[in-house]
Amino acid sequence: MSTEDGPGTDPDPLDRQSDVTDLHASLRREGEEPAEGHEPAPWWLWAGAVLAIFVGGFYFGRHSGTFTAAPHQGFIPHAGPGPSASATQAPPDGSKIYAGRCASCHQPDAKGVPGAFPPLIGSGYVTGPPETPIRILLHGLQGQITVGGQTYNGIMPAWKDQLSDAEIAAVISYERSLPGNGAPAIAPEAVAAVRRKTATRTSPWTAGGLKAAAGGP
């Protein structure tokens, strides 16, 4: 004989247990809810980062070229040969060289100081054969000399290590062109020739040595 559950009848306890079991199984399938916080990165991410750093360091060390432009010169287009340094560099200014190197002794007007420094105006050492002033500027001068009827006894330093051939030619040409001199200019090639011939000289010139070198008495 069967009986039907009325409105006030409790459900079967087995049915309630089945419902609870099904609920727990559903929760297990869904997993735990994610929680906020610091989670460790997976090991493969760290391994990839270390590998990338190693490969990048090796590449830059191999191809950086010490961070200079030299490795990239092959990629710079060549515009063809440019003007040479001699074509673009202005020739030395003899007046400026004289003001900076000579005027303190021979004076800005090149008239010298009586009894101390000989004048350069009207001096045969300046206006004579161009080799004479070249020799003096290259190796210096010492001992007694006579200029304008007055005797001087001093020492002039050598400029061979401080002035180039072009600078020596420029300052001598300036001195030879001063009013009262009127001697022609000299070329740097003339200075270079004297420099080569006297390359082994280690002492200053004297008045007698200059006369002998010039073929005088």
CA neighbor of 105 nearest in space, from 57, 48, 154: 154
- Average pLDDT per run of 10 along the chain, which is 217 residues long? 50 56 63 62 78 76 58 48 58 96 96 95 96 97 95 95 97 96 96 97 96 79
Six-digit token string for 121: 């105006």
- pLDDT confidence of residue 113: 95
String of DSSP letters for 106-165? H-TTS--BTTTB--STT-HHHHS-THHHHHHHHH-EEEEEEETTEEEEEEE---TTTS-H
- pLDDT confidence of residue 33: 62
Cα 40 to Cα 49, 51, 188, 200, distances in angstroms = 15, 19, 80, 81
Dihedral pair phi/psi, residue 153, rounded to 5°: -140, 100
Cα 170 to Cα 41, 99, 117, 126, 203, distances in angstroms = 78, 12, 21, 13, 24
Residue length, the chain?
Answer: 217
Look up residue 8 and give its DSSP letter: T
- 142: which strand partners? 155
Q: Which domains does the chain have, with CATH numbers?
A: 91-212 (1.10.760.10)
- pLDDT confidence of residue 149: 93
Give the global pTM.
Answer: 0.60
Angle subtended by helix axes 131-139 and 165-176, to nearest 10:
130
Six-digit token string for 106: 């021979």
- pLDDT confidence of residue 1: 44
Please give the Cα distance from 158 to 135 (Å, whole number).
9
- pLDDT confidence of residue 18: 61
